[in-house]
């Protein structure tokens, strides 16, 4: 056992694969350093050996291996993928195929059991017979290209010559050529700063590297175009790793960033120096900070509060020597019942512990995206947690939610975000986007003024932040054109939350304070009691003295506010929100305290004094 463990530690300390300098690759020609033969993508044979040793020496790795093998065994008898669109997308099928090719191909490489390779081959040949991979929604093409390329590469030695030609032709004709057409256009993913850039450039590059020896000209063009395009998106991680698209799309974008980087490293021996991108080495902290003690995220920007595994955290842990990234992902995945994918095992890193997590600051500000996180402690399910955003209403996937927040305490989420609505609804990403309650200002834990949405392109900087005193203050003024100034501050005092709003205007305004909660609400004038299971939260209006709480249904908008029918309404239970309808005023200070235990009434200070 000691010998096996020593091997594991030695392999881990090696870190990521050595990378040739970008200028060395350029001097020799882009494909001059292409690894001969297969497999060459993402996980090389010596890394497979590393995993085999881990499975022997590490109990968690062994458990994950057995879990994945069980899923692979079930997959052997499942129907092959079919070209069926859901709404305007083939994306669900592309992701299904990716899960299968990486699982089956990976299990073949780990075990040598040819049943997995044969089933993977059948999947590849099935999608190679599709009419296309749906270029009108190019994410579908990119993910399918990635899926087929990895499967082809990982089971290459089991494929016949005819099988290889069929799959290579599909990668070229359904993936790379449509991609080159987009690169040649004046608009498309290659011009975007959002997740489409990383996903499409990443998926196409993996496809190009898979068949670069048989189609070098096409592969070179794709790799060169992606190399020129992807820095546009990677630059968004600067300076501190935050993601303006929220934690859900952080996971999507960074997963494909790692596919891209890992494939370059294994196939060409270089990462083109993209690992030096400012903020990339820090971006794992955004994931860690955005997940609260209940394993729920601060789910702004079309994100659900649930958290999926992020195997890229293991890649980042090894690439940047961040043992806390590995510890967080390993412990998180274990708590979630091993809901893992193949790369959780292939990139597995046993380094780090809860002690490493406890050293991470309990308050963090991500400056470029203007989002702050506050918590009372780590490794404690009862800890208090606040996610708070200023943000940018014009960002990709943004809602009109400047100033919104979520709040956990005592093992319960008291203030929640309703998350996205159905992407297939009419005009969801177009003319009707702001008709849907979940995207409107009233659908978030922030202020509405005169019943109107915030300005659609407004941004709200966080103008004050203290990690020691655990507070953040955002300037929401641009979101409310009728007001001269709107500031909101949040502060966490132990587990108690203070939310303070200050509004100034030239004329009286009707201001409503909104809080969405899954709790039962008991009203008592300026006080309210929220209950969930056996937990209670006391909520109190500190100022103004004449304000009173009320409760209202949420999520199902009045007909006057939604001109588009929403089929999901008929199956969705109405929620409840706690509200304060303030008397019209030109100047208002509104202070609300949330207390999970007996606490004295806090002293009110102007937000300028906080700063």
Report percent pLDDT > 90 for the chain. Answer: 87
Check whether 383 has a pLDDT greater than 90.
yes
Kindly state whether residues 398 and 271 are assigned to the same domain. Answer: no
What the block records as the tokens of 368 is 């470029």
Residues 333 and 382 placed together within one structural domain of the fold: no
609: pLDDT strictly greater than 50: yes
Whole-structure pTM value = 0.92
For the stretch 590-607, pLDDT in tens is 999 999 987 777 889 999
- pLDDT for the residue numbered 337: 62
C-beta separation of 332 from 344 below 8 A: no
- Name the one residue in this structure whose structure tokens are 């395009």: 229
What is the Cα 17 distance to its own chain's centre? 26
Q: What is the pLDDT of residue 4?
A: 39
pLDDT band for 332, please (50, 70, 90 cuts). Answer: confident
pLDDT at 308: 87
Cα end-to-end span (Å), the chain: 57
**CATH code for the domain in which residue 520 is found:** 2.70.98.70
Question: For residue 143, what is the DSSP state?
Answer: H
Does residue 286 share a domain with residue 381?
A: no
146: left (phi over 0), alpha (psi -120 to 50) or beta: alpha
> How buried is residue 516: exposed, middle or buried, by Cβ count under 10 Å (0-12/13-18/19+)?
buried
**Mean pLDDT to the nearest integer, 204-215:** 98
Q: ω into residue 144 within 30 of 0, thus cis? A: no
Same domain membership, residue 290 and residue 209: yes
Burial class (CB in 10 A: 0-12, 13-18, 19+), 136: exposed
The band of 2, judged by pLDDT with boundaries at 50, 70 and 90, is: very low
- How confident is the model over 356-369, as pLDDT tens digits? 999 999 999 999 99
- CA angle in degrees (0–180, nearest 5) for 16-226-316: 25
> Where in the sequence is the domain holding 564, given as residue range(s)?
363-610
pLDDT over 80 at 348, yes or no: yes
Same domain, 310 and 386: no
The model's pLDDT over 313-326, given as tens digits with 9 standing for 90+, comes to 999 999 999 999 99
**Cα–Cα dist 559/575, whole Å:** 17
Indicate whether 71 and 89 sit together in one domain. yes
pLDDT in tens, 109-157: 999 999 999 999 999 999 999 999 999 999 999 999 999 999 999 999 9
- Counting runs of H as helices and runs of E as strands, what totals does the chain give? 18, 19
Domain finish residue from 309, 326, 358: 358
What is the DSSP code (8-state) at residue 79? P
- Strands 405-409, 412-415: pairing is antiparallel
Res. 339 pLDDT band, cuts 50 70 90: confident
Largest Cα separation within the chain, whole Å, is 80
Is 67 in contact with 340 (CB distance < 8 Å)? Answer: yes
Both 287 and 415 in a single domain?
no
Give Cα separations from 193 to 201, 365, 457 (angstroms). Answer: 12, 21, 17
Query: In this predicted structure, which of 22-31, 340-349, 568-577, 597-606 has the lowest mean pLDDT?
Result: 22-31
Half-sphere exposure of 392 (CA within 13 A, CB side): 12
Runs of H (alpha helix) within 76-137: 91-111, 114-128
Q: What is the pLDDT of residue 336?
A: 65
Alpha carbon distance 94, 71 (integer Å): 18
- Between CA 290 and CA 301 the distance in angstroms is 13
Q: Which helix (H) or strand (E) holds 29?
A: none
Q: How many domains does the chain have?
A: 2
Task: Say if residues 294 and 237 touch (Cβ distance below 8 Å).
Answer: no
CA distance 105 to 48: 12
Percent of the chain with pLDDT over 70: 92
With DSSP H G I counted as helix, E B as strand and the rest as coil, what are the percentages for the chain, rounded to 5?
45, 20, 35
In the numeric block, which tokens belong to residue 323?
């043992």
Residues 310 and 398 in one domain: no
Residue 40 parent element (H or E): none
Last residue of a domain, one of 327, 358, 389: 358
Query: Are the beta carbons of 328 and 312 closer than 8 angstroms?
Result: no
Pairing of strands 535-543, 527-532: antiparallel
pLDDT digits (tens, 9 = 90+) for 543-553: 999 999 999 99
What's the CA gap between 152 and 88, in Å, rounded?
A: 27
Q: Which of 43, 141, 125 is nearest to 90 (CA)?
A: 141
Are both 227 and 119 inside the same structural domain?
yes
Angle at 143 between CA 140 and CA 148, to 5 degrees: 115
Residue 309, preceding peptide bond in cis (omega within 30° of 0):
no
Contact status, residue 424 vs residue 335, Cβ threshold 8 Å: no
Domain shared by 319 and 340, yes or no: yes
- Rounded CA gap, 276 and 282, in Å? 11
Residue 24 has pLDDT above 80, yes or no: no
Note the residue count of the chain: 611
Residue 301 and residue 253 share a domain: yes
- Whether the pLDDT of residue 15 is over 60: the answer is no
pLDDT tier, 572 (very low <50, low <70, confident <90, very high otherwise): low
Q: Is the pLDDT of residue 382 over 90?
A: yes
Measured CA to CA, the distance from residue 287 to residue 325 in angstroms comes to: 9
Name the β-bridge partners of 527.
524, 540
Tell me the pLDDT of the chain averaged across its residues: 92
**Structure tokens of 156?**
């290459």
Residue 562: pLDDT over 50 = no
Q: Which residue has the higher pLDDT, 393 or 17?
A: 393
Model confidence at 6: pLDDT above 70: no
pLDDT of residue 595: 95
Residues 18 and 74 in one domain: yes
- Give tens-digit pLDDT for 478-523: 999 999 999 999 999 999 999 999 999 999 999 999 999 999 999 9
Last residue of a domain, one of 358, 388, 418: 358
pLDDT digits (tens, 9 = 90+) for 430-485: 999 999 999 999 999 999 999 999 999 999 999 999 999 999 999 999 999 999 99
Is residue 238 classed as helix, strand or coil in its secondary structure?
Answer: coil
Average pLDDT over residues 170-185: 98
| Cα–Cα distance, 356 to 365 (Å, whole number) | 20
Instruction: Give helix 45-57 / helix 59-75 axis angle, nearest 10°.
Output: 120
CATH of the domain at 234: 1.50.10.100
Residue 498, helix vs strand vs coil: strand
Q: Which pLDDT value is given to residue 560?
A: 38
DSSP run (H or E) holding 353: none
Q: What is the DSSP string of 508-562?
A: EE-EEEEEEESSEEEEETTEEEEEETTEEEEEEEEE-TT--EEEEEESS--GGG-
Average pLDDT over residues 75-83: 97
CA distance 146 to 94: 9
CA dihedral (18, 24, 28, 32) in degrees, to 10, reads: 20
Q: How far apart are CA 403 and CA 374, in angstroms?
A: 15
**3-state SS assignment for residue 167:** helix
């Amino acid at each position: 056992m000691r010998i096996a463990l020593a091997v594991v530690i030695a392999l881990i300390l090696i870190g990521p694969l050595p990378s040739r300098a970008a200028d060395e690759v350029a001097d020799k020609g882009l494909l001059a350093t292409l690894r001969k033969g297969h497999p060459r993508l993402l996980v090389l044979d010596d890394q497979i050996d590393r995993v085999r040793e881990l499975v022997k020496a590490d109990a968690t790795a062994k458990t994950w291996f057995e879990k994945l093998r069980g899923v692979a065994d079930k997959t052997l008898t499942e129907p092959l993928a079919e070209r069926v669109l859901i709404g305007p997308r083939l994306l669900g099928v592309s992701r299904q195929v990716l899960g299968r090719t990486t699982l089956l191909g990976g299990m073949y490489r780990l075990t040598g059991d040819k049943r997995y390779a044969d089933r993977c081959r059948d999947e590849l040949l099935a999608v190679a017979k599709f009419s296309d991979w749906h270029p009108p929604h190019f994410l579908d093409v990119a993910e399918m290209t990635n899926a087929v390329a990895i499967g082809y590469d990982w089971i290459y030695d089991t494929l016949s010559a005819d099988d290889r030609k069929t799959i290579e032709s599909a990668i070229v004709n359904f993936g790379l050529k449509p991609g080159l057409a987009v690169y040649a256009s004046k608009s498309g993913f290659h011009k975007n700063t959002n997740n489409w850039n990383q996903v499409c450039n990443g998926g196409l590059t993996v496809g190009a590297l898979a068949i670069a020896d048989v189609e070098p000209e096409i592969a070179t063009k794709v790799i060169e175009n992606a190399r020129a395009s992807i820095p546009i998106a990677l630059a968004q991680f600067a300076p501190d790793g935050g993601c303006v698209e929220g934690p859900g799309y952080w996971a999507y974008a960074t997963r494909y960033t790692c596919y891209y980087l890992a494939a370059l490293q294994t196939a060409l021996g270089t990462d083109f120096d993209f690992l030096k991108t400012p903020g990339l080495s820090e971006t794992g902290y955004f994931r860690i900070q955005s997940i609260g003690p209940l394993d729920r995220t601060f789910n702004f920007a079309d994100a659900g509060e649930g958290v999926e595994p992020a195997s890229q955290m293991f890649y980042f842990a090894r690439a940047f020597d961040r043992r806390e990234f590995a510890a967080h992902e390993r412990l998180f995945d274990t708590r979630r019942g091993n809901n893992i994918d193949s790369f959780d095992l292939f990139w597995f890193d046993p380094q780090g512990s809860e002690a490493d997590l406890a050293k991470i600051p309990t308050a963090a500000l991500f400056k470029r995206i203007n989002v702050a996180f506050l918590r009372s402690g780590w490794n404690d399910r009862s800890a208090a947690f606040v996610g708070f955003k200023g943000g940018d209403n014009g960002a990709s996937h943004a809602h009109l939610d400047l100033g919104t927040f979520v709040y956990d305490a005592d093992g319960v989420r008291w203030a929640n975000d309703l998350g996205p609505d159905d992407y297939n609804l009419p005009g969801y990403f177009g003319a009707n986007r702001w008709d849907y309650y979940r995207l409107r200002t009233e659908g978030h834990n922030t202020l509405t003024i005169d019943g109107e949405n915030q300005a659609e392109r407004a941004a709200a900087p966080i103008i004050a932040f203290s990690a020691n005193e655990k507070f953040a203050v955002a300037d929401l003024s641009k979101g409310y054109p009728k007001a001269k100034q709107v500031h909101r501050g949040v502060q966490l005092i132990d587990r108690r939350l203070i939310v303070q709003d200050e509004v100034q205007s030239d004329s009286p305004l009707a201001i409503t304070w909104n809080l969405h909660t899954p709790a039962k609400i008991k009203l008592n004038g300026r006080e309210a009691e929220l209950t969930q299971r056996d937990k209670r939260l006391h909520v109190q209006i500190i100022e103004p003295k004449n304000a009173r709480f009320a409760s209202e249904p949420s999520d199902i908008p009045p007909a006057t506010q939604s001109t588009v029918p929403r089929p999901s309404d008929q199956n969705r239970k109405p929620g409840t929100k706690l509200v304060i309808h303030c008397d019209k005023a030109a100047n208002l200070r509104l202070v609300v305290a949330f207390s999970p235990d007996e606490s004295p009434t806090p002293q009110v200070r102007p937000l300028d004094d906080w700063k």
